[in-house]
Structure 1
Amino acid sequence: MSADNEIVDNKAHIRHQLDFANAEWIASTDDPDEPGVEIAFVDGYIGMRNGAEPEGPVLVFTPEEWDAFVAGAKDGEFDEP
């Protein structure tokens, strides 16, 4: 967040340049009935998409954001109560 508590998109300058069309997507599961999420690495960024909707939006993470996300997942931050 910036000093005035606004969220700053630090990827705005690169987002339109990232091309995930030919990326090698890695699935979170081998079960075709439960596609889960998929990730891909492009130009130093990490993309994540819904494996059930591969033509849908791609969330883009910096390596630092990805590390924080993975650490939170390992720590149970996203577990249901």
Structure 2
Amino acid sequence: MTEIKDLSFEDAMKELEATVGKLEHGEATLEESIRLYERGAALRKHCDDVLRAAEERVEKITLAANGQPSGATTAEGL
């Protein structure tokens, strides 16, 4: 199983959606359900962290008087 920290946001969301589907449809034993729930919680936290970091990057970008991006990040770094 892939380390959660190594997953892209999109891959983590796909896995989280699949995990929720398995839990909703009762496709797992009790023990498996607990493991799925734990991984799902970790996936959700990872997605929240990635989104928060992206929001912080966007907030750092401001437009200078000439309309060009300025600040810590440029368009090439996105």
TM-score (structure 2 length as normaliser): 0.26
TM-score (structure 1 length as normaliser): 0.25
Decide which structure has greater helix share.
2
The structure showing larger relative contact order (alpha-carbon pairs under 8 Å, at least 6 residues apart) is 2
Decide which structure has greater strand share.
1
